[in-house]
């Protein structure tokens, strides 16, 4: 599943491929939500949508890094 990430009003917004929408005022919070839905940094898109602002390069890196770190932690904690 893919997620398109934008900024709208006072929140980072993720529109998931299944039609669900997640929102958080922080990139860290959005990273938690995305990882909880099983998404990885490779699943993120940053396409502009009318009425939304596209994320900066720094914000994209921050979000991708946060999701990757959470994913690695989850993998380390899961039984093999």
Number of folded domains that form the chain: 1
Residue 79 has pLDDT above 80, yes or no: no
Interatomic CA distance for residues 64 and 47, integer angstroms: 15
Burial of 9 (0-12, 13-18, 19+ CB in 10 A): exposed
pTM of the model as a whole: 0.86
> Residue 30: which domain range?
3-77
Q: How confident is the model at residue 74 (pLDDT cuts 50, 70, 90)?
A: confident
């Amino acid at each position: 599943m893919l997620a398109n990430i934008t900024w709208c009003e006072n929140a980072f917004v993720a529109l998931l491929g299944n039609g669900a929408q997640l929102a958080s005022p922080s990139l860290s919070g959005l990273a938690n939500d995305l990882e909880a839905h099983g998404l990885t940094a490779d699943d993120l898109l940053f396409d502009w949508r009318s009425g939304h602002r596209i994320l900066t390069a720094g914000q994209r890196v921050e979000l991708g890094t946060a999701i990757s770190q959470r994913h690695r932690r989850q993998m380390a904690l899961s039984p093999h």
